[in-house]
């Protein structure tokens, strides 16, 4: 009889930019054509953002990046101060990063499973599939439930996702075994905000639904997505210049681009994002935001057009090269730490 | 000197499924290969959903659909009872549908503008571009501000996006000139819920940020995305069977698929979505949810695999054919009206 | 035990543009955005080509179009004089059109087969698969062998693919049962050249390899691809203006675009192609010719830029609408028949 | 006034796999998901082919690879015996490799030119554009004319493209300045066949058209594409096992896959291709051969399914990693040199 362990054997192991120096490779790609040249130019723009002392950097994450082996890349960017705020899908932050921080793992699916032919068997065994990656659904339910417990423990009021995710970081900090390379935990320690504008659309959503259903008409925790937007707008207003490092599109891209307009509406005069790079496989021709060019964003007054570059590539190939390039170039070594969490708390008289 | 009106000339006009009968065309496509056959099968599955008296239908909207000329299609689906709940990006509902309901229009961009070469000139003239479509940004600011006024007028407490969008419908209903073919307005009248799980990520976000910033530490309206999830889960639990008609992917797709799992967590035994069709140009190979196959969703216990069909096509081509097919087949004529808004209110002792 | 007939049940049936009038549908799409508007513009440009009495029209076919159900569309374009020369992949002309003209059929594969899980079983049963379509390989071997017999019957010398394909038409004409809706046969009767620049890369290649191997060092038929290019260049030189209707990219697109340059090299002053439309799913960003924009072709002096339109869509969806639109508009009704085969023969003192 | 030299400044410089060791990078990607894992697996399969002493390796090239900076990669594969036969589009071999061997260069286009806005100016200046790369058209005309001169110098008879391209290599060998890193020249020296099944569809086509037009009814050189197929089939029959390293799809992919069937038709019992990897950005869903899965090819009896891997990535990113991995692993160091040119000549009693 087939068992869970027959499928969950080979784990996903996370790429380590600190041990792979792609600088010569990327430098060589600069002189080629097509995606290689685009990638080299994007890597160069990221390095410029890091060298620009006035620039706050927003990292936007969409797509299944953490489960695909990119967790340590982003954890290193947070730890070593190559990013100042993260805007992400809930899946990356909760279902995948926090999930692994709780001690669980992602697994490689056998080639054949990509065709979908074993999906009903996986269903029976409570294994979830993301293309070529497998997850133990029972463990995911524990992750859901942990977010419920965190919600239960909080003062009932509206929270921004940043506030809730910081509580998840605090939860991890209270454990005796500290998680290794967790984005949530490293951001908590570095006082770097993580914002998930569609926070209920993930494992935490399940926890929060359970929390709210149990509370009934009693006071309860609610997730205020307007506060998310207000906080990211305040971060924009606190920053002399800003740069976007976007992986995938979706809500994180839109949200991060929109803050320049929101700041204007609040009466602040802020510049457009000075730098912007995006890695995506999306197609420009359907008018969806995920794939809209950064040039188009300039018509909206969101992104300046001098230092912008789209890279049409899948993230697992492009992120190790771009992030690795910037890490090994070392321009980040003298960057000030912005610790926006402290400033947002000060703004609000505490979180 | 170039002026705004030099660019904003040709308006987008919305496709009318009631005046174009594609049934013979789609029937012929059934016997071909590739996307034509897939499209015919998807149209057939939508017709089956409509003929199934037990099936509540969730319409998921992502991508710039309303600005692309599909507003009347969805308004007709709402008006004629071919859909029971809408899960959408905020852009479709607020920036585009509500925007037009306020009397504003979208415009066709000249071919040359797609290249991006006039984007800085557009910026100067306060014209926003979505690929081949233009928007008067000054009008969009009025749309933002109208959502602020609505927020200002409400009792300060956490709201689901459904509750807020219903207030937008009520606002339109109070105008002397009722809007034509507005999804927000037609859904308001038909008591059909519209849920935007990432509601702050749109024009309404700007209005809400202005509202919250003005209120400071005073009581204020907040947007509870957890309540969004809870309400859509309740809709799932109220429905014997459910079917998904998804256009694009993103948060709406994920959110709508997830409710089967959320219902389980609340202790309810609900079946997977019995029917599911998706129109998308996204690529299956990057593991993003937008493009994940409906088959893959079955490993998560979300979607059954008997009546599911992906159609890899751009929405402006596929939606008129699929929605038009179902409308002209007429299986919807004897469907019960579900009016989930009434049931959700009853659940909660009023909204 | 599984048998061939368990798989080969549902046949592909060819779309009939003469019985589906998409004019109102396409007219409505003109006022939308994205692919719908592009498609309407392409349909309009094709109609313009047909109305322009000076314009010779080249139809380029790449991708599995005939097996997908588009055979009758192209046969009708040939029969009713909506096209003057065809440049195609060998697969479309020999493996698929001539194959069906010999009395064989294509079959719909069951959904599950798309995943590839039955491919080894198909192999055992001598069934070939094209994504969602099946072919009886034994019948394909008969098609190969028929081309061998035709080669055996010809005077041994170098042939252009046009000359060979005309012989295939003559072969069909000698049969007692004339084929229905065969492109090869209709083109033969209408004296319309069909050119396959990579002619050995198809079923005919198998026949020709067998012919040449059997002849050894004896005189044999050879396929002169340079003559193909020369003949298409002469057709360009015979035409006052030219228009391209391209489906897919590949060698046919490149070849047809290149003749303007080749004509120059032969000392002729010819205009660029005045009209050009292309239907493709290819991606512009890898620099391959299949996906290169028609605008880019203008830098090469191949295609003029006033009447050109790319349509990013799969052919089974777009061809019925574009070809159907032009057929029902009727601008072709007064077009002169160019019968380029006669002119090429006259040039050469017989073929 | 704008001049040619204003555009043609920055040259494309070719990637050097011998100076960039991606082995640790690729090894790390093996444990990730999506394209990274696929790429690592493909690299591993290429290394296996090289370690398999019985395996003849066919390199298939489609898309603008040489102009994109990959010339030296393939030249090194030829020089160091990592490939035994090349099947390519004419553009890669003649317009790009032979062109550079004649002393000409490719240039980087400025970002803005990708939009196409300067295409008419480029046209006036006789500059051709491939997406982000520029070519001096006057130099390309010299390349065309050189192929004409070679044709003029040959005995008038039908030639395979391999025979003609070998003459191009001999032409280069007669020059006092030997070209650096030319695929045509290195293959000539290593007696490695290069086959372009659609040989007239390139710069050589222009030369051959000029040659044939000038000869009129006199004896002339013709290009026998059937002989191309026969020769590649013979190579398959000479090889115990075969492996395919395919970049892009198109005619080269189809041609190389088809030889297993052609060998059968000639009465030989040959195994399917034992190994096959393909790098492509093409989309599987339109049924075109370029994008058809290698699994699908197994239904045709072309490719075995144990060691096959598609990598959905753009070639400039993937080729340096895959080819570099195999080169640095060194399994090729003890491979026998197959020198198929010698064997084909022996077969035919001279070329």
Q: Record the tokens describing residue A339, joined without a space.
A: 């610790």
Whether residue B131 and residue A292 make contact (CB cut-off 8 A), yes or no, is yes
Spatial neighbors of D112 by CB under 8 A, at least 6 apart, are B117, D118
Q: How confident is the model at residue D111 (pLDDT cuts 50, 70, 90)?
A: confident
> Which chain C residue shows the shortest CA-CA distance from A288?
C34
Across-strand partners of A272? Answer: none
pLDDT at position B301, please?
Answer: 84
- What digits encode the pLDDT tens for the residues D269-305? 999 999 999 999 876 655 556 667 777 888 888 888 7
Q: How confident is the model at residue B111 (pLDDT cuts 50, 70, 90)?
A: confident
Q: Record the tokens describing residue D108, joined without a space.
A: 């980087």
Q: Record the tokens describing residue C209, joined without a space.
A: 């390899």
Helix segments in chain A, DSSP class H: 4-7, 23-29, 34-51, 71-79, 90, 99-101, 119-124, 137-153, 161-174, 183-190, 203-215, 225-238, 250-265, 294-299, 315-329, 340-348
Angstrom CA distances, D81 to A76, A106, D47, D323, D337, stand at 41, 40, 13, 12, 6
- What digits encode the pLDDT tens for the residues A162-182? 999 999 999 999 999 999 999
Give the pLDDT mean for B228-241.
97
- What digits encode the pLDDT tens for the residues A191-216? 999 999 999 999 999 999 999 999 99
For B232-266, give the DSSP string.
Answer: HHHHHHH-SEEEEEEES-HHHHHHHHHHHHHHHHT
Angstrom CA distances, A168 to A171, A230, B143, B262, B265, stand at 5, 21, 36, 21, 21
DSSP D67: I
State chain A's mean pLDDT as an integer.
94
Angstrom CA distances, C304 to C151, C273, C275, C293, stand at 40, 6, 7, 12
Q: Which residues of chain A have a CB within 8 Å of the CB of B289?
A: 63-64, 91
**Could you confirm whether C302 is annotated as catalytic?**
yes
Whether residue D116 and residue C285 make contact (CB cut-off 8 A), yes or no, is no
- The span from the CA of D105 to the CA of A149, in Å, is 65
Whether residue B285 and residue D33 make contact (CB cut-off 8 A), yes or no, is no
pLDDT at position B351, please?
Answer: 37
- What digits encode the pLDDT tens for the residues C272-326? 999 999 999 876 655 566 667 777 888 888 888 789 999 999 999 999 999 999 9
The radius of gyration of chain C from alpha carbons, rounded to an integer in Å, stands at 20
Q: How confident is the model at residue B287 (pLDDT cuts 50, 70, 90)?
A: low
Q: Record the tokens describing residue B75, joined without a space.
A: 């308004």
Look at the block and give the residue holding tokens 């023969």: C345
pLDDT at position A297, please?
Answer: 84
C250 and C290 Cβ atoms separated by less than 8 Å = yes
Phi and psi of C302, rounded to 5°?
-100, -40
Q: Which residues of chain D have a CB within 8 Å of the CB of C68?
A: 287
Q: Record the tokens describing residue A167, joined without a space.
A: 């509580």
pTM of this structure:
0.96
- Shortest CB distance from B317 goes to which of C14, C36, C131? C36
pLDDT at position B282, please?
Answer: 75
Q: Record the tokens describing residue C294, joined without a space.
A: 């028609």
- The span from the CA of D319 to the CA of A208, in Å, is 46
Q: Which residues of chain C have a CB within 8 Å of the CB of D225?
A: 198-201, 205, 223, 225
Torsion of CA D157, D158, D164, D170, to 10 degrees: -30
Across-strand partners of B195? Answer: B87
Whether residue D285 and residue B35 make contact (CB cut-off 8 A), yes or no, is yes
In this predicted structure, the answer to whether residue D89 has a pLDDT above a threshold of 70 is yes
In this predicted structure, the answer to whether residue B285 has a pLDDT above a threshold of 60 is no
Angstrom CA distances, D61 to A184, D194, D322, stand at 45, 11, 15
Whether residue D201 and residue C197 make contact (CB cut-off 8 A), yes or no, is yes
- The span from the CA of D98 to the CA of D91, in Å, is 10
Q: How confident is the model at residue A259 (pLDDT cuts 50, 70, 90)?
A: very high
- The span from the CA of B56 to the CA of A144, in Å, is 27
Q: Which residues of chain C have a CB within 8 Å of the CB of A312?
A: 283, 285
Q: Record the tokens describing residue D199, joined without a space.
A: 């040989």
- The span from the CA of D194 to the CA of D172, in Å, is 15
Number of residues in chain A: 351
Burial code (b: 16+ CB inside 10 Å, e: under 16) for D64-76 equals: bbbbbbbbbbbbb
Cα atoms in the 13 Å half-sphere on the side-chain side of A119:
25
The separation between the first and the last C-alpha atoms of chain C, rounded to the nearest angstrom, is: 52
CA distance C331 to chain D (A): 30
Cα atoms in the 13 Å half-sphere on the side-chain side of D115:
17
- The span from the CA of B101 to the CA of B179, in Å, is 5
Look at the block and give the residue holding tokens 């590839």: C116
């Amino acid at each position: 009889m087939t068992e869970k362990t027959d499928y969950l054997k080979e784990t996903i192991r996370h790429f380590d930019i600190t041990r792979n120096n792609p600088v010569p490779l990327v430098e060589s790609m600069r002189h080629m054509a097509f995606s290689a040249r685009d990638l080299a130019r994007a890597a160069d723009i990221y390095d410029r953002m890091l060298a620009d002392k006035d620039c706050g950097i927003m990292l936007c994450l969409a797509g299944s990046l953490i489960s695909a082996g990119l967790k340590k890349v982003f954890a290193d960017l947070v730890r070593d101060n190559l990013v100042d705020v993260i805007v992400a899908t809930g899946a990356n932050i909760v279902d995948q990063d926090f999930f692994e921080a709780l001690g669980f793992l992602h697994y490689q699916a056998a080639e054949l499973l990509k065709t979908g032919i074993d999906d009903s068997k996986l269903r029976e065994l409570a294994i979830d599939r993301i293309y070529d990656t497998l997850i133990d659904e029972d463990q995911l339910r524990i992750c859901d439930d942990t977010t419920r417990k965190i919600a239960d423990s909080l003062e009932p009021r509206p929270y921004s996702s940043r506030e809730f995710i910081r509580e998840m970081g605090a939860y991890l900090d209270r454990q005796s075994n500290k998680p290794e390379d967790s984005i949530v935990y490293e951001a908590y320690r570095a006082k770097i905000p993580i914002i998930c504008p569609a926070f209920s659309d993930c494992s935490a959503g399940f926890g929060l639904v359970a929390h709210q259903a149990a509370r009934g008409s009693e006071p309860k925790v609610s997730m205020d997505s307007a506060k998310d937007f207000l906080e990211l707008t305040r971060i924009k207003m606190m920053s002399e210049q800003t740069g976007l490092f976007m992986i995938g599109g979706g809500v994180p891209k839109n949200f991060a681009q929109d803050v320049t307009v929101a700041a204007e509406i609040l009466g602040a005069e802020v510049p457009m994002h000075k730098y912007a790079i995006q890695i995506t496989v999306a197609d420009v021709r359907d008018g969806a935001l995920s794939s809209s060019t950064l040039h188009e964003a300039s018509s909206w007054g969101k992104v300046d057009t001098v230092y912008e570059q789209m890279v049409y590539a899948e993230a697992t190939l492009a992120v190790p090269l771009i992030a690795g390039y910037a890490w090994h170039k070392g321009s980040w070594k003298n960057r000030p730490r912005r610790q926006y969490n402290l400033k947002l708390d000060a703004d609000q008289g505490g979180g």
